[in-house]
Structure formats: structure tokens, C-alpha cells
Amino acid sequence: MSGNFDTDSLADLAVGRLKGKKEKLKEALQGHFRDHHGFMIQASLDLIASLEKIIADLDRQINEKLKDYHRERELLASIPGVKEQGSSSILAEIGADMNVFPSEGHLSAWAGMRPGNNESAGGHKILIMAYQILKTGIPYKELGHDYLSRRKEDKIVKGHIRRLKDLGYQVELKKAAALSLVKKE
């Protein structure tokens, strides 16, 4: 590994707020840099370059395999937070044909996800969105924060009734009137 180890020259490379701290930089740069230090740094740089090449090769191969799936990639990229590369990753993992999964629940189970699984910042919801988008061919459209809950309202209600009955309550349901928010002055 070759380079300039002169502390004055190195401190002169400082930018931004470090420019005002050149003396402290010079002091921090004092030390003993031996051949084995250079060897270890070069080995680390070589490893990083090698991994970056492998990643670039994998990206190229994925893009080559997915070149015929431009429409599906575009549809998935309509999901907030899923960009072109993310849509490629989703397609590489689950495929484009959602007919292999009888429902979004089957896809979620296959992927090892479950409702409320927040290990990857809403990974379950993104998977459900991806399923619906690929199944229908319709891009993402914001349906409201409570869409999934409303969609399964009867299932949720039955579950709560069953839980209350298990606790010894007698349950009689009556649909409440729609609430309206009135601003008081």
C-alpha cells in the first residue's frame, strides 16, 4: 500500500468543520504505520471490491432474468417505499404468477410472514399489496390506513364475539350509527 503519511499533508485534506481542527487532526494522525497495517488495509479494500463485483454481477443477472417482466416491476414500484430495485427483488423471490397461491394468506405463509410481523417495517403489508397488484394488474392506490381492517370486518367481529363469550359474556350486536366529527367553536 502506498501513499502519503505526512500528517501536515493529510490534515490539509480536511473539509467542512474539520478544517478548523487541523492541529487535533495532526495529533490524531500521529502513530506507527507498519507494513502489516498496510497489508491488512489492502486486504480489506480488496475484499470490499470483490464483494461489490459479486453484488453487481448478481444485480445484472437478476435484471437479465426479469427483463421480460417490465410491467410487473413497474406495478410493484408503485408501492410506496418500493423502488425499481425493490420490485426486482420481490419478483425474484415470489415470481410474477400469483395463481400459484390460492390467496394472499398462502403467499404470506409461504414467505414466513404473518399479520403483525413487523420485522421488516411493514413487510407483511407490502407482501399483501404485491400479491393484489400482481393478481389484478392494477397499480397501488392508497385505500386508507384501516383498509385491511375494514376488508375483514366480519372476521374481526366474530373473533371478538368468540373471545367475549369465552370470558363468560352474553353478546348482542347492534350496528352503531355512523359517527360524524363536528368542530366545536
CA–CA dist 109, 182 (Å, integer): 43
Give the pLDDT of residue 48: 98
The closest alpha carbon to 136, from 158, 110, 104, 167, belongs to 104
State how far the Cα of 46 lies from the Cα of 42, in Å rounded to an integer.
Answer: 6
Q: What residue spans define the domains of the chain?
A: 7-64, 66-149
- Secondary structure (3-state) at 121: coil
* pLDDT per residue as tens, the chain (185 positions): 566 678 888 888 888 988 889 889 888 888 887 889 889 999 999 999 999 999 999 888 888 888 899 999 999 999 988 887 789 889 988 999 999 999 999 999 998 886 655 555 568 888 999 999 999 999 998 877 777 677 778 888 888 999 999 999 998 888 887 655 555 55
Answer whether 94's CB lies under 8 Å from 130's CB.
Answer: yes
Q: What is the per-residue pLDDT for 66?
A: 87
